[in-house]
Chain A
Amino acid sequence: MTPLRRDIAASIALVAAMAVVPLIFDTRYVITQLTVFFIWGIVVTQWNLVLGVAGIFSLAQMALFAVGAYGTAMLAYYGGMAMVPAMVIASLATVGVSLVIGFACLRLKGPYVALLTLAIAQMLYLIVVNDTGCFTNPPSGCLPLLGGVRGFSRFGDLGFRDLLGSKWFVGHYYVGLGLLLVAQVFCAFLIRGPLGLAFRALRDNPGYAMSRGVGRLKYQLWVFGLSAFFTGLAGAFYVAHFGVVGPIVFSVSMLLFLLAMIVVGGMGTVWGPLLGAAVLMIADEGLREVGDWREIGLGLVLAGFVILLPRGLVGLRRR
């Protein structure tokens, strides 16, 4: 069996196993936490493609997530659009934004890319938060065009409340699981397929690869744009699931949490990011008691893994 088929088979097996979970545990807490895990799983698998496979040191991933999330919320809130078309349009808009960022940043080298993407993310955050003029005046009070500090709420949902009644969250669980399956299979295709091969060639022998017509910028833009689609979609689903979106999606601690998932699991591998996401979410659950120390713990985990175990948990097995 080729590695690609093995990965796809593993993905399907895992999803099948996860699909049984709501039939066994039907406590809302477990199901909702797992749905959140699916969302972060999509984000980290896609970010991992950008960081670990294409070698683009971008920190704009949560900004792209936010574009998908805010886009969906604003289309539904102002345009009165149904959730599903809003989600698709917002995801496509995310691709557009990512291509603009890509054209501005990808000509630069590693650390410049990191700083510039971080600056762009920060700029978007400031634009959202500093927007204080009232655009509309709903009953809940003044609402700026981009939602301001408060963000958006009450813009509709996926309609599972009518369909499943009090078990609506199970609907979200399956939607999230389905999206994660698609994202993970895409990720496996990219790493094992021609694009992944192109990047491996560019890494191992850049001169030969480029003389054979494998241009770095072109392939980097492809990965950046395609992964932005799923990232935006994850953002859109986040909005549909929680029913609110606010500037917290830009926060540094969230960026740190997701970056730590990739580093802990193993950057550039097919399964590392998902493993890291699972480990860190469980650890986070355990650390809920000592909430104040969460940031210190995250920082230590991030630094410790980079220093002592730079290839992550997946790298342990290969040694």
Chain B
Amino acid sequence: MDVVLQILVSGLTIGAMYAASTIGLALVYGALNMLNMAQGALLAFGGYVCMYVMDSLGLPAPLGLLAALVTGGVLGLAIYALVTRPMLGSANFETQIFIATIGVGSVLQSAVLHLFGPQPKAQPLQIPGGLTLGGVTLPWQNVLIMGVTALMLAGVAWLLGRTRAGLAIRATAQNRVAAQLMGIRIGRVYAQVLMLSGALAAVSGVMVSSLSGLLPTMGADPMLKAFVICVVAGLGNVPGAALAALVLGVLEAVIQYLFGVQYAFAILLALVIAVLIWRPYGLFGTRQVVRL
């Protein structure tokens, strides 16, 4: 019983981390049909900025998190201004922007490498100790990760569901042209979405690095998993992505326990491929009726 609970705890932590890095991706794809391959580098940037603020400037943890948030937002805005905006309306937008963001990701990742060096570093944002409940240990770090993720999810849900800006984002995602005709400035919506997703990515980078440590390439693995989760949930489906992240997190913990760490991702991918053959539009995606 204890083992099951322990697996559940670590699975939910993994899932929470995945959810944090996935919602930004899902949001951007939903609103813009843009797969942001620079997401992994944004994760790394967030983690390193938090480390820099806390270690080198000696400021407290909340300021480190805030700095990561702001940096992520600014980078997201920069991606909008320099990459997305010039390409809007070009032929084959989806494919072309994908390639462009691969380039941007490479640039950002090398920037991290040059700014902070190639050696692995530790993320100073750590809470030692844990909560012991009937034989199961729940480290405070895991509680923090789950708490921050819950906060982020709630914030995004509130923003999308209850604010005018969120309404504009949803309208644009549903039908770009109709939204534009109703007087929504879609340029501003796109900028907001990319800023938001950049900020979310940076914060989730801090969370990921608090467990795995800091490396310039640390974003690649969570990003790939976030993509897989997006695909399973149906691209652009934000609540579905969050749910799928938690389920896959627990699943990964179970696989790790049963078969060993090195097989976790391979088995997960095999499952995902099976899901996609069964439902090519994702688990929660709605079937898009494209007759041709």
> When the two chains form the complex, which single residue of A107, A126, A310 contacts B280, counting CB atoms closer than 8 Å?
A107
B106 within 8 A of partner (CB):
yes
* Assembly CA distance A252 to B280 (angstroms): 27
A-chain residues with CB within 8 Å of residue B235 when the two chains form the complex: 111-112
> When the two chains form the complex, which single residue of B96, B109, B220 contacts A310, counting CB atoms closer than 8 Å?
B96
Contact status of A112 and B280, CB under 8 A, knowing A119-B227, A296-B111, A306-B96: yes
* Assembly CA distance A295 to B106 (angstroms): 6
Contact with A along B235-247 (1 / 0, CB 8 A): 1000000000000
> When the two chains form the complex, which single residue of B98, B105, B265, B269 contacts A299, counting CB atoms closer than 8 Å?
B105
Taking a contact as CB atoms under 8 Å apart, the answer to whether B269 and A298 are in contact is no
Contact status of A303 and B107, CB under 8 A, knowing A57-B98, A116-B273, A252-B220: yes
* Assembly CA distance A108 to B285 (angstroms): 13
> When the two chains form the complex, which single residue of B95, B103, B224, B280 contacts A301, counting CB atoms closer than 8 Å?
B103
* Assembly CA distance A122 to B272 (angstroms): 14
Q: How many chain B residues touch the partner (CB < 8 A)?
A: 44
CB distance from B37 to the nearest CB of A (A): 9
Within 8 A of B (CB), among A89-129: 104, 107-112, 114-116, 118-120, 122-123, 126-127
A178 within 8 A of partner (CB):
no
* Assembly CA distance A292 to B91 (angstroms): 34
Taking a contact as CB atoms under 8 Å apart, the answer to whether B231 and A303 are in contact is no
B-chain residues with CB within 8 Å of residue A293 when the two chains form the complex: 110
Question: Which single residue of chain B is at the shortest CB-CB distance from A206?
Answer: B292
B266 within 8 A of partner (CB):
yes
* Assembly CA distance A36 to B220 (angstroms): 28
CB distance from B55 to the nearest CB of A (A): 24
Taking a contact as CB atoms under 8 Å apart, the answer to whether A111 and B98 are in contact is yes
Contact with B along A243-272 (1 / 0, CB 8 A): 000000000110010011001000000000
* Assembly CA distance A300 to B104 (angstroms): 7
> When the two chains form the complex, which single residue of A57, A119, A303 contacts B103, counting CB atoms closer than 8 Å?
A303
Centre residue among A112, A304, A306 by max chain B CB count within 10 A = A306
Taking a contact as CB atoms under 8 Å apart, the answer to whether A119 and B228 are in contact is yes
> When the two chains form the complex, which single residue of B87, B97, B101, B272 contacts A119, counting CB atoms closer than 8 Å?
B272
Within 8 A of B (CB), among A2-36: none
Taking a contact as CB atoms under 8 Å apart, the answer to whether A302 and B102 are in contact is yes
B58 within 8 A of partner (CB):
no
B-chain residues with CB within 8 Å of residue A304 when the two chains form the complex: 103
* Assembly CA distance A2 to B252 (angstroms): 57
> When the two chains form the complex, which single residue of A119, A263, A298 contacts B106, counting CB atoms closer than 8 Å?
A298
Contact with B along A297-316 (1 / 0, CB 8 A): 01111111011101000000
Taking a contact as CB atoms under 8 Å apart, the answer to whether A114 and B35 are in contact is yes
Taking a contact as CB atoms under 8 Å apart, the answer to whether A104 and B91 are in contact is no
* Assembly CA distance A107 to B265 (angstroms): 23
A-chain residues with CB within 8 Å of residue B86 when the two chains form the complex: 307-308
* Assembly CA distance A166 to B91 (angstroms): 52
Taking a contact as CB atoms under 8 Å apart, the answer to whether B110 and A299 are in contact is yes
Taking a contact as CB atoms under 8 Å apart, the answer to whether A306 and B276 are in contact is no
Taking a contact as CB atoms under 8 Å apart, the answer to whether B103 and A107 are in contact is no
A193 within 8 A of partner (CB):
no
Contact status of A299 and B104, CB under 8 A, knowing A57-B95, A126-B265, A259-B99: yes
A85 within 8 A of partner (CB):
no
> When the two chains form the complex, which single residue of B99, B111, B262, B292 contacts A306, counting CB atoms closer than 8 Å?
B99
A136 within 8 A of partner (CB):
no
CB distance from A313 to the nearest CB of B (A): 16
Contact with A along B242-272 (1 / 0, CB 8 A): 0000000000000000000010011001001
Taking a contact as CB atoms under 8 Å apart, the answer to whether A300 and B107 are in contact is yes
* Assembly CA distance A53 to B115 (angstroms): 40
List 10 tightest A-B contacts by C-beta distance, closest first: A302-B103, A299-B106, A303-B103, A299-B107, A130-B262, A295-B110, A206-B292, A306-B100, A299-B103, A296-B110
Report which A residues bind B (CB closer than 8 A): 57, 104, 107-112, 114-116, 118-120, 122-123, 126-127, 130, 206-207, 210, 252-253, 256, 259-260, 263, 292-293, 295-296, 298-304, 306-308, 310
Q: List 6 A-B contacts (CB under 8 A).
A: A111-B94, A112-B235, A119-B272, A126-B265, A302-B100, A307-B87
